């Protein structure tokens, strides 16, 4: 994954790079480094661990520079170490390169370079690029063309930035499969993996597309394809503000983002509900409605939490649109030669819009002629741009690695898509209006749940020492069980499994004893009585039970150890409410265990490797 940032201009770039890297740490945080070029010397500073460690080192050295690049790493090739940290350099230590992605043919490139006498010090794929560019520089190419020639030999993915002591007035960047954005300032320019690293300085950005390369000076930028074709890029205005990417007084981004949910789900539906017609209005799908309505099948493809949102989406779409819908892990979809036709609609869900497997699945479905829709949070992200049409979830920047507000906003968007299709099928005006009313009431209902934060924190105390958890739900609440379990394992490192409640008797029931906490999502819907029976089965085996129940439930409390009550809403919207206590439960357990909830070990927010 990795985050990259760079600056050229008149200011001292060191604090800009450090600040930018901190904002990009969600992309990886096992080591970090800076490459700086001054009029009189050039230097690389690298450290194992988080950006804060690098910052201390940089302070000790007290260096200044007006040209620099920085990198925060998520290890793919080679363990997290100073040697494997970026920037990577040529032998003379005059060329510095940072990379996000994977060079797939690095071994064959490396062999060729070794024959020429190049020596390698790291275990990374990236180091090959530094030497390959050096090779083309020695053939008297400019940095721009040396990078271009090198990239023409590369297979794999990259977002790279390169600086060179022989051409101190520029940064060269290129993109294929990993995001790269140029920030346009006044007599200064920036580059980064995404806009969060730039918005403190500029709101004007240029998104590079795959196969594009740019040379950036303090006052200009020029772009070409790596095949040397001229291209003209549009400058975009970013809407995200600095408040959106700070903790706003909360101890962690994750808590801020959980607490943001009344606002974020409001934003995801704002201006999109037409009560009089009981329908939704989705500008991003305009012109594609007929094709969607006439789809033979809808396929939803995603990873992680977004995949869980897709499962809820499947239930909604099948129940209300009558169109057969299936959900597929993007990583499986892309490699098993799925049967896709031009009569299919494939919906790709991704908070970041950059997940490598989801992006590759999208390209595969596009090749096969399906209509491809993107449901993304990050505006201008690769999946959003690559899709034929789509809907932004407008949750605002999500920085905590564990996804929270993006999940609920994704569910809102699935409700909107369902409404749009279903009203043209069999959903009546009255049913459409009922759903809209319930959607409009969600904000208040979420606030009611968030007010129970302290109660949930107290409940969390009782479970901090547990080693395993089971999460059970049925119907719409089955994907919530999966998501609740994922939240817990991601940030608290407690093993947790989500299961359809009825499946418990086919295996997980063997695990139940008085040490096994079982979280039931047992709100009132058509599965309620069955879930109550499942609760009894766990109780009979002395399992510890925490149940998420409906506000007015007077049965379950007597059977279980703890309850958290949530308001009732339309059954298809219930997951938007029932997941919130589970987010808070995972958060408090992880905090009580003293863990870094915003940056859990081994994870990254944006998974740009397959």
Residue 302 tokens read as: 């995603």
Per-residue string for binding with ligand G6P, 345-384, x by CB under 6 A? -----xxx--x--x--------------------------
Minimum distance, C-beta of residue 400 to ligand G6P, in the bound complex (Å): 9
The CB-of-483 to ligand G6P minimum distance in angstroms stands at: 9
Residue 475 binds to ligand G6P (criterion: CB under 6 A): no
Site for ligand G6P in 130-169 (CB under 6 A): none
For 80, 88, 396, 543, the CA distances from 43, given in Å and listed in that order, are 21, 11, 37, 59
Burial 163-189 (b: 16+ CB within 10 A, else e): bbbebeebbbbbbbbbbbbbbbbeebb
Closest CA to 379 of 409, 417, 350: 350
Closest distance to ligand G6P from the beta carbon of 479 (Å): 13
Question: Among 2, 13, 42, 376, which one carries the catalytic annotation?
Answer: 2
Q: How many CB atoms lie within 10 A of CB 513?
A: 10
Closest approach of ligand G6P to the CB of residue 29, in Å:
13
Q: Which of 551, 605, 573 is nearest to 408 (CA)?
A: 573
Q: How far is the CB of 408 from ligand G6P (least distance, A)?
A: 13
Residue 4 or 402 with smaller CB distance to ligand G6P: 402
Least CB distance to ligand G6P at residue 607 (A): 5
Looking at the Cβ atoms of 305 and 568, the one nearer to ligand G6P is 305
Among 4, 95, 591, 607, binds ligand G6P (CB under 6 A): 607
Calpha distance 102→568 (Å, rounded): 47
Q: Which stretch in 17-25, 113-121, 175-183, 396-404 sits in contact with ligand G6P by CB under 6 A?
A: 396-404
Measure the CA dihedral 319/322/326/327, to 10°: -50
Please identify, using beta-carbon distances, which residue of 182 and 362 lies nearer to ligand G6P: 362
Interacting span for ligand G6P (CB under 6 A) from 3-11, 51-59, 397-405, 500-508: 397-405
| CB closer to ligand G6P out of 256 and 605 | 605
| Helix/strand/coil for 576 | helix
H helices of 368-466, in order, are 382-386, 405-423, 429-450, 453-461
Nearer to ligand G6P, 118 or 307 (CB): 307
316 φ, ψ to 5°? -65, -50
Alpha carbons 307 and 407: distance in angstroms, whole number: 10
Identify which of 529, 474, 515 has the alpha carbon closest to the alpha carbon of residue 498: 474
Rounded to the nearest 5°, which phi and psi values hold at 420? -60, -45
Whether the bond into 520 is cis, omega within 30 of 0? no
Q: Does residue 603 bind ligand G6P (CB under 6 A)? A: yes
Q: In this complex, which beta carbon is closest to ligand G6P, that of residue 583 or of residue 606?
A: 606
Coil, helix or strand at residue 126: helix
Binding-site residue total for ligand G6P (CB under 6 A)? 16
Helix, strand, or coil (residue 406)? helix
Minimum Å distance from CB 398 to ligand G6P? 8
Nearer to ligand G6P, 126 or 331 (CB): 331
- C-beta of 566 vs 607, nearer to ligand G6P: 607
How would you classify the pairing of strands 67-73 and 31-37? Answer: antiparallel
User: 405 vs 524, which CB is nearer to ligand G6P?
Assistant: 405
> Which of these is catalytic: 22, 50, 405, 605?
605
- Range 289-348, binding ligand G6P (CB under 6 A): 303-306
CA distances from 433 to 71, 281, 391 (A): 50, 14, 21
**Nearest residue (beta carbon) to ligand G6P:** 304
Determine, following the binding rule CB under 6 A, whether residue 605 of this chain makes contact with ligand G6P: yes
Stretch that binds ligand G6P, among 145-153, 233-241, 525-533, 601-609 (CB under 6 A): 601-609
CB atoms within 10 A of CB 297: 16
Q: By C-beta, is 490 or 553 nearer to ligand G6P?
A: 490
Distances (CA, A) of 456 to 296, 384, 516, 544: 44, 36, 19, 16
3-class SS shares of the chain: helix, strand, coil, % to 5: 40, 25, 35
Q: How far is the CB of 355 from ligand G6P (least distance, A)?
A: 3
Nearer to ligand G6P, 163 or 402 (CB): 402
- Written as six digits, the tokens of 509 are 């029931």
Asked if 572 and 309 touch (Cβ cutoff 8 Å), the reply is no
Minimum distance from CB of 492 to ligand G6P (Å)? Answer: 14
Output the smallest distance, CB 402 to ligand G6P, in A.
Answer: 6
25 Cβ contact partners less than 8 Å away, ≥ 6 residues apart: 3, 50, 51, 72, 599
Active site residue 42: no
Burial class (CB in 10 A: 0-12, 13-18, 19+), 138: exposed
Q: What tokens appear for 373 in the block?
A: 């829709």
- Kindly state the helix (H) or strand (E) to which residue 182 belongs, with its residue range: strand 181-184
Residue 223 interacts with ligand G6P (CB under 6 A)? Answer: no
Find the binder of ligand G6P among 137, 279, 401, 582 (CB under 6 A).
401
Residue 492 interacts with ligand G6P (CB under 6 A)?
no
CA distances from 175 to 74, 225, 411, 479 (A): 18, 10, 31, 35
Up-side HSE of residue 503: CA atoms within 13 Å toward CB?
12
Least distance from ligand G6P to the Cβ atom of residue 380, Å: 14
2 among known catalytic residues? yes
Residues of this chain that interact with ligand G6P (CB under 6 A) are 303-306, 350-352, 355, 358, 401-403, 603, 605-607
Report, as residue numbers or ranges, the catalytic residues: 2, 605
């Amino acid at each position: 994954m990795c985050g990259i940032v760079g600056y050229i201009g008149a200011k001292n770039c060191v604090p800009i790079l450090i600040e930018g890297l901190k904002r990009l740490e969600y992309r990886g945080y096992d080591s970090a480094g800076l490459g700086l070029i001054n009029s009189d010397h050039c230097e690389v500073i690298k450290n194992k661990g988080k950006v804060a460690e690098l910052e201390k080192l940089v302070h000790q050295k007290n260096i200044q520079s007006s040209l620099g690049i920085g990198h925060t790493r998520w290890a793919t090739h080679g363990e997290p170490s100073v040697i494997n940290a970026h920037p990577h350099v040529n032998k003379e230590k005059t060329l510095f390169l940072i990379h996000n992605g994977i060079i797939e043919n690095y071994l064959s490139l490396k062999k060729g370079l070794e024959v020429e006498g190049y020596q390698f010090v790291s275990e990374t794929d990236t180091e090959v690029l530094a030497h390959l560019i050096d090779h083309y520089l020695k053939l008297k190419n400019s940095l721009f063309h040396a990078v271009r020639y090198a990239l023409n030999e590369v297979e794999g993915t990259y977002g790279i930035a390169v600086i060179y002591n022989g051409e101190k007035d520029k940064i060269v960047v290129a993109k294929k499969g990993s995001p790269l954005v140029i920030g346009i300032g006044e007599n200064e320019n920036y580059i980064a993996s995404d806009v969060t690293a730039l918005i403190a300085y500029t709101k004007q950005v240029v998104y590079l597309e795959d196969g594009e390369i740019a040379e950036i000076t303090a006052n200009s930028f020029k772009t070409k394809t790596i095949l040397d074709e001229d291209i003209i890029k549009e400058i975009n205005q970013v809407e995200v503000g600095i408040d959106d990417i700070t903790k706003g007084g909360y101890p962690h981004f994750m808590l801020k983002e959980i607490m943001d949910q009344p606002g974020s789900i409001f934003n995801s539906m704002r201006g999109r509900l037409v009560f009089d017609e009981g329908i939704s209005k989705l500008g991003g799908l305009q012109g594609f409605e007929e094709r969607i309505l006439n789809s033979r099948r809808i396929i939803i493809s995603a990873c992680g939490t977004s995949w869980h949102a897709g499962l809820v989406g499947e239930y909604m779409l099948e129940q209300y649109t009558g169109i057969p819908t299936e959900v597929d892990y993007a990583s499986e979809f892309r490699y098993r030669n799925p049967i896709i036709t031009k009569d299919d609609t494939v919906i790709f869900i991704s908070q970041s819009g950059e997940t490598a497997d989801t992006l590759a699945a999208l390209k595969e479905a596009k090749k096969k002629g399906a209509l491809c829709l993107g449901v993304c949070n990050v505006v201008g992200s690769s999946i959003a741009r690559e899709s034929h049409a789509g809907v932004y979830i407008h949750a605002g920047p999500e920085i905590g690695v564990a996804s929270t507000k993006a999940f609920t906003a994704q569910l809102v968007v699935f409700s909107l898509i369902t409404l749009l299709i279903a009203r043209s099928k069999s959903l009546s005006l009255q049913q459409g209006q009922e759903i809209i009313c319930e959607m409009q009431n969600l904000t208040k209902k979420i606030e009611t749940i968030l007010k129970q934060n302290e109660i949930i924190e107290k409940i969390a105390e009782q479970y901090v020492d547990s080693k395993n958890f089971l999460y059970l739900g049925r119907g719409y609440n089955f994907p919530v069980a999966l998501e609740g379990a994922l939240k817990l394992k991601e940030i608290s490192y407690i093993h947790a499994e989500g299961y359809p409640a009825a499946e418990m008797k086919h295996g997980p029931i063997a695990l139940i004893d008085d040490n096994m906490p079982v979280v039931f999502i047992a709100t009132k819907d058509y599965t309620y009585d069955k879930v109550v029976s499942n609760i009894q089965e766990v109780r009979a085996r002395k399992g510890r039970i925490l149940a998420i129940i409906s506000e007015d439930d007077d049965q379950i409390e007597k059977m279980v150890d703890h309850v958290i009550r949530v308001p009732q809403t339309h059954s298809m919207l219930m997951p938007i409410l029932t997941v919130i206590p589970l987010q808070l439960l995972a958060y408090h357990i992880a905090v009580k265990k003293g863990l870094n909830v915003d940056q859990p070990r081994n994870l990254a927010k944006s998974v740009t490797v397959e």
